[in-house]
Structure 1
Amino acid sequence: MGYITRETAYFDKPGKENTADVVHLAVERARLLNCTQIVVASTSGKTALAFLDAIRGTGIRLVVVSHVVGFSKPGIWEFSEDTAATLRAEGHIIVTGTHTLSGLERALSRAERVGGGSRSEAIAEALRRVVAVGLKVAVESVLIAADQGAIPIEDEVIAVGGTATGADCAAVIRPAHTATFFDLQVREIIAMPRNR
C-alpha cells in the first residue's frame, strides 16, 4: 500500500483549553510511531508539567523549549525554577535558545532607523497565518532543540506548540538545524485549531 491514514484532531478555536487533549493526542501518536522524544514549547513550565503524568512509564523523554532570558523583561527567565528542577530530576531536558525565526532580525525590523521585515520573519508569519500559530511555535522549537544538540536530526519527533499559552497544535516533524531549515519536514499534523 502506498499510503497511510491517521486521524487529525481539529479544535474549534485556539488556546490553552486544548492542552489536555493535545497532551493525550501527542503521547498517543508518539507511542504509535515508537517516537521517544516530544519537543514541547513552554514559557513558564506549565505546559511541560501537563505532559509529565502522561509520559511516565512510556520511555518518552521531553525536550522542553523555553523563551530566552530577557524575552519579556531584561534579565528575566520566565520559566519556573521549581518546574525546571522537577523536569531535570526526571531526566527531561530544558533548552533555552533564541527564536530562530526572528531573533536579531526582530530587533532590526522594530528599529526606527532600520525598519522593514526580514525573510525569517516572513517564514514565521506564513506558518502563523496559513496553518496555525502553534505550528510556527512547534517548528521553531524543533529548530532550537536541534541547534542545541538536544535532539538528533535523523529521528522524527512529536512537536507541540500553542497560541499564546498552553498547547493547541501537535505535529510529527523530521528535524533540521536552522542553517538547513528547508530540510525540516512537517510529516503529520496531529492536532490544530481550525479557526485562528
Structure 2
Amino acid sequence: MTFVERKTYYFERPGEENTADAARFSIQRAQELNIRTIVVASTSGKTAQVFFDAMKGSGLQLVVVTHVVGFTKPGEWEFSHETAQSLQKQGVRIVTGTHALSGLERALSRSTKVGGGSRTEAIAEALRRVVAVGLKVAVECVLIAADQGAIGATGEVVAAGGTASGADTVCVIRPAHTSSFFDLQVREIVAMPRTR
C-alpha cells in the first residue's frame, strides 16, 4: 500500500487572525507539490495584500477572487480600487464573478413568491457546515476562477478562504468549471479551524 504523509494545521478558532499563517501554509504546500497558482478569496483587498506580500519572491502566481459588484449594495464593489490597481500592476489576476454556489439560486430561495432552498445551496451549506466555511469559499473561488479563465480546469491549485474575513482554510484542489462541478476534487486540506 502506498501513502503520502503530509502536515495539516488546525486553528483554534476561525477568523482573520489566521490570515498570515494561512498564507504561509499556502506557499509551503504549493512549493512542496510544485503547484504554481494560489487562489484566495478577498472582499476588501486586505487578505489579497497579505497573501501578495507573503508570496513575494516565491515565483508563485496569485489569483484573487472578489465578491461580485452589488453583493452588499447595488452597483458597489467592496474591493479597494487602489489595492486592485497596485496588485494588478504587479501581475496579480483579480477575478470578480457571480457566486457559483449561490448567485441566482439565492434570489429564488429568498423570494417570498418562490421560496424554498435549492440543490446548489444545499451543496454550499454542506461544505460550510460539515467541514468549514472557508472550504466552501475556497471551492467556490476555484469554480469562479476556472469559469473566468484565470486558472485551468486541470492540474491543481492551492486555494484559501475564510469564515467571515481573512483566511483560515487552505486546501489543494483540482479545479473544474461550475458546469462540471462534480469533476472538482478537494485533494488535501492543509489548514482549517477546529470549530466554526
Q: TM-score, normalised by structure 2?
A: 0.99
Q: How does 1:32-111 map to 2 (within 5 A)?
A: 32-111=32-111
State the SS of the aligned residue for 1:112.
Answer: coil
Deviations 1:64-97 (A, max 9, x none): 0000000000000000001101110110100000
TM superposition shift of 1:33: 1.0
Cα distance in 1 between the residues matched to 2:116 and 2:62: 37
Residue 187 of structure 2 is matched in structure 1 by 187
Is 2:165 aligned against 1:162? no
Moved more, 154-163 or 50-59: 50-59
Cα distance in 2 between the residues matched to 1:118 and 1:88: 36
Letter aligned with residue 116 of structure 1: G
Letter aligned with residue 10 of structure 1: Y
Percent identity over the alignment is 69
Is 2:81 aligned against 1:120? no
Cα distance in 1 between the residues matched to 2:31 and 2:148: 25
Letter aligned with residue 43 of structure 1: T
Residue 26 of structure 2 is matched in structure 1 by 26
Cα distance in 2 between the residues matched to 1:53 and 1:115: 44
Gaps of 5+ in 1: none
Cα distance in 1 between the residues matched to 2:50 and 2:185: 26
Cα distance in 1 between the residues matched to 2:41 and 2:51: 11
Moved over 6 A (4+): none
TM superposition shift of 1:53: 2.1
Provide the alpha-carbon RMSD of the alignment. Answer: 0.7
TM superposition shift of 1:56: 1.3
Cα distance in 2 between the residues matched to 1:49 and 1:170: 17
Q: TM-score, normalised by structure 1?
A: 0.99
Cα distance in 2 between the residues matched to 1:80 and 1:134: 22
Residue 153 of structure 1 is matched in structure 2 by 153
Cα distance in 2 between the residues matched to 1:57 and 1:195: 34
Cα distance in 1 between the residues matched to 2:42 and 2:110: 25
Cα distance in 2 between the residues matched to 1:164 and 1:6: 27
Gaps of 5+ in 2: none
